Structure 1
Amino acid sequence: MTEWQKSNWRNKPRIQMPDYTDADALHAVEAQLSQYPPLVFAGEARRLKDALGAASRGEAFLLQGGDCAESFEQFSADGIRDTFKVMLQMAMVLTYGAKVPVVKVGRMAGQFAKPRSAPTETVDGVELPSYRGDIINELAFTPEARIPDPKKMLQAYTQAAATLNLLRAFSTGGYADVHQVHAWTLGFVEGEKAARYREMAGRISDTLDFMKAAGVTSDRLHSLQTVDFYTSHESLLLEYEEALTRLDSTSGKWLAGSGHMIWIGDRTRQPDGAHVEFASGVLNPVGLKCGPTTTAEDLKVLMAKLNPENEEGKLTLIARFGAGKVAEHLPRLVKAVQEEGANVTWVCDPMHGNTIKSATGYKTRPFDSVLREVQDFFGVHNAEGTIPGGVHFEMTGLDVTECTGGVRDVTEENLSDRYHTACDPRLNASQSLELAFLVGEELTKRREAGLVAASA
């Protein structure tokens, strides 16, 4: 077996990637990026892998969330802060429900490229290449904007570095103090329609009050003021990924220096394809999206390629089927994992299988469908005696109106009010936190039924 090299993917079939027209400009950008520092470090990726291993055993729970696609135009410190803030709130609620640590992973600092269902789109009879994310081309519907520009990789790197810098400051500078996070959450449950969540919020308050009375306070215990926060993205643009890949001197293995965790989408998971080849050789934790067309045979091949040493925490299977379809598809994949004796972390992505077109013409995702898929995911794992290790949401801390439903009752008529996404609809801050309360209730039921202890 030949030794893996970071450029091996270039010898494999490639899809969902741009064809750059200026080869010299592309090579210049790749050379420049290859001299830049990595955005993350091997020790961080190893810590995340250990945490995901704990989630696979039921000893932790993964919360992965963030933008559908990060935008250059909408980039701001406030936007980063607001998404980080709501993820901390969600994590606190989930921690209380599960009674295990919550692993916090943002779809941030790298989620710039998007796969598309068609290579072109037509508007008013004009056909142009599809928008593939700000790292590749531009959203404006003009021939010039849709030309892939390799220099956009440099802007993506700069924005990712700035995002990570701020996230690290928020994580360790006191902003993540557990008491402050809960104070934010109490504001959410004050509303009349959020009354059902007050009981859990009250129990969290009682726990914090007891800890304070017992002398367990933020000024005495540094861990109450800080959090570990990791980044992730779909490793779609492999020129960018290769340029930021570095050899880890400690282990002698290759690190994808673009983010702590990378994943392979449902459209690019071909066992002999370029994306699987790249992900197979890096030490980072790797996610694999599993949709309705994923066969047991393909999954077995992919698990062997992506986690040849069968390490805990190395491979996360992100199930995305759609509400009402989980019981049809997930059991066969669970069985395939069991037959192989494979170590995986099972995660639910209830967003991508529940996208619909509203009567007003906007793409949206009904809150109830998102919740139902999560509940179905838990139901299958409860029946199979396996462990639901986490959830994966497209969400934002902004007050957008892109998904319908929730306690704020966003309707199809409301979608045009604040519909800001460049690609897919995201849960807003209120919907995200409400979903965390509901998932927290599922985790509490599972724990009280003894399912965590039995399967772990």
Structure 2
Amino acid sequence: MSDWDPSSWRAKTALQQPIYADSDSLQGVLQQLGDRPPLVTRWEIDRLKTQLALAANGDAFLLQGGDCSESFAACRADPIEKKLKVLLQMSLVLVYGLKKPIIRVGRIAGQYAKPRSSDTETRDGVTLPSYRGDCVNRSPFTPEDRLTRPQNLLAAYEHSAQTLNYLRALTEGGFADLKHPENWELDFVSLSPQSDEYHQMVRGIGDSLNFLDVLGGVTRAELSRVDFYTSHEALLLAYEEALTRQPSGEAEWYNLGTHFPWIGDRTRMIDGAHVEYFRGIKNPIAVKVGPSTTSDGLIELLDLLNPEREVGRMTLICRFGAERIAESLPLLIAAVQQSNHPVLWSVDPMHGNTMTTENGIKTRHFDQILSEVRESFAIHARHGTIVGGIHLELTGNNVTECIGGAGGLSSGDLSTAYESNVDPRLNYEQAMEIAFLIAKQARVAGPEL
């Protein structure tokens, strides 16, 4: 596109961008980022786009999950392994139930920035800048911690690189071997009500793989590795611009800081800087859509972001809330059908169901999360369309951040292990319950699911 380059977003209004007191320091950091090696390759990105095209047509399923906001402190072996373990276990359940390939994408290795509803936060009469993620400032409520620091952008790149390096070692080196799912066990897995059902499923899959071994129909290499991709909300446009490159010999631009960036619900304005940036990169991209999304506005957005109607390019991550999905989603489905835009429909049952307890703790009720998942599949079935993915905020830690679920967590339990600095996440038990729900519905509903 002759009218686009990685910096053309600067001529547009850019929301949710931090303010830096030292512009010279910021420019120096961005220059350093521009000189750093890419974090991912265009071949990985193109492979993911091909797989997402299958999901858009109902021949695969996208499982996207991870922290609402990564922290630099969690860039350690144990937390990374736990996130991968829960996604691998969920994907195994989904493979078994859906009988189709699962595309595994983590909200990881770059999810260090978060949009906020207010630029400031007030506690006990003291007002400070809001916490916007570790790549901007720090979570503790002190003037020093809430300073916006350009050097945090370099730290975000470094922590992303370290996380990616370990993820690749795990997924390529045998950790993800389908013949040894015991590698994926979490210390507290035996406490889950889903534990017996999961292990019975694993034994059945193991028997099937042994049978294939006897027939010679599958190689060891095919079983010992999985594709695993990264994603994050591309919120801080200066950072994303610095990692946007033209691979050698290519005329096209790729964001080589992640495989699968998305635009958030707060920044998807048609004439805004985020949409301007996204329209020029070749990555598969996603857009969060919610109750404020209009049919005409969505089609205008799709026309701009995917004018060539490339299958696999566009994912719509739907986050309406259990109480509003029935009135909102059908209108958007009808508009997209009429426009003939190829999209992958993904359900995000987390962000529309956030609530605050009487004690001021942000949480989500698991019943509402399950309700939105069920309703999404039902609505798409009635319209002849396909739910091709699910987008979840989850962790491999045994946290108590969302109430409800098989474990029966109540609002009084939240303080037991509430670790998130921003939004509440599903714990292992709750995440697996959603995976089993989708798998069981598939067995009941058949191909139309």
- Assess same fold via TM > 0.5: yes
Q: Deviations over 1:58-79 (max 9, x none)?
A: 0000000000001012331100
Query: What are the within-5 Å matches in structure 2 for residues 206-225 of structure 1?
Result: 206-215=204-213, 220-225=219-224
RMSD of aligned Cα (Å): 2.0
SS at match of 2:64: strand
User: CA contact under 8 A between 2:181 and 2:202: conserved in structure 1?
Assistant: no
Separation in 1 of the partners of 2:248 and 2:192?
56
Confirm whether residue 275 of structure 1 aligns to residue 274 of structure 2.
yes
Partners in 2 of 1:91 and 1:362 — Cα distance?
31
The answer to whether the Cα contact below 8 Å between 1:110 and 1:160 also exists between their aligned partners in 2 is: yes
Q: How far apart in 2 are the matches of 1:192 and 1:31? A: 48
Amino acid at match of 1:451: E
Q: What is the CA distance between 1:190 and its match in structure 2?
A: 5.7
- Report deviation, 1:207: 3.6
How many residue pairs get aligned? The number is: 448
Aligned mates of 1:238, 1:213 — CA distance in 2? 51
Q: How far has the Cα of 1:193 moved from its partner?
A: 3.7
Q: Please give the residue correspondences for 1:49-198 in structure 2 after superposition, counting only pairs within 5 Å.
A: 49-181=49-181, 193-194=193-194, 198=197
**Counterpart of 1:374 in 2: which secondary structure?**
helix
| Partners of 2:393 and 2:265 in 1: CA distance | 16
CA distance in 2, matches of 1:142, 1:22: 20
User: Equivalent residue of 1:373, what SS?
Assistant: helix
Q: Which amino acid aligns with 1:128?
A: L
TM-score normalised by structure 2 residue count: 0.95
* CA distance in structure 1 between the partners assigned to 2:11 and 2:38 by the alignment: 24
List aligned pairs for 1:270-349, cutoff 5 A: 270-349=269-348
Aligned counterpart, 2:409: 410
Which of structure 1's runs of 4+ aligned residues deviate more than 3 A?
182-195, 216-220
Aligned residue for 1:275, secondary structure, equals helix
Amino acid at match of 1:208: G
Task: Label 1:154 to 1:331 Cα distance change in 2 as closer, same or farther (>3 A).
Answer: same
Query: For residues 423 and 189 of structure 1, do their structure 2 counterparts lie closer, same or farther at Cα, with a shift above 3 Å needed?
Result: closer
For residue 248 of structure 1, give the secondary structure of its aligned residue in structure 2: coil
Give the counterpart letter for 2:4 in structure 1.
Answer: W
Preserved CA contact (<8 Å) 2:194 2:432 = no
What does residue 373 of structure 1 align with? 372
Establish whether residue 237 from structure 1 lines up as the match of residue 263 from structure 2: no
1:323–1:369: 8 Å Cα contact kept in structure 2? yes
**How big is each residue's C-alpha offset from its partner over 1:147-206, in whole Å with a ceiling of 9 and x where there is no partner?**
2111100000000000000000110111001132267579988658438x72x7535522
Of 202-211 and 104-113, deviating more is 202-211
Where 2:390 maps in the other structure, the secondary structure is strand
Q: Report the Cα distance in structure 2 between the residues aligned to 1:340 and 1:113, rounded to whole angstroms.
A: 33
Q: What is residue 25 of structure 1 aligned with on the other side?
A: 25
Q: Residue 97 of structure 1 aligns to a residue in which SS?
A: helix
Q: Quick one: which of 195, 203, 207 aligns to 1:205?
A: 203
Report the secondary structure of 1:302's partner residue: helix
Cα pair distance change 1:207/1:145, threshold 3 Å: closer
Report the more deviating stretch, 381-390 or 183-192. Answer: 183-192
Give aligned-pair identity as a percent: 48
Using the size of structure 1 for normalisation, the TM-score is 0.94
Specify the SS of the correspondent of 2:203: helix
Could you list the runs of 5+ residues in structure 1 that have no partner in the other structure? none
Instruction: Name the CA distance, whole Å, in 2 between partners of 1:322 and 1:193.
Output: 26
CA–CA distance in 2 between the matches of 1:51 and 1:219? 20
Checking the alignment, whether the CA contact within 8 Å between 2:353 and 2:365 is kept in structure 1 is yes
Distance apart, 1:144 and its partner CA: 2.6
Unaligned runs of 5+ in 2: none
Match of 2:448 in 1: 451
Shift of 1:213: 3.1
- Contact 1:109–1:164, Cα closer than 8 Å, also in 2: yes
Conservation of the 8 A alpha-carbon contact between 1:136 and 1:150: yes
- Shift, 1:89, TM fit: 0.2
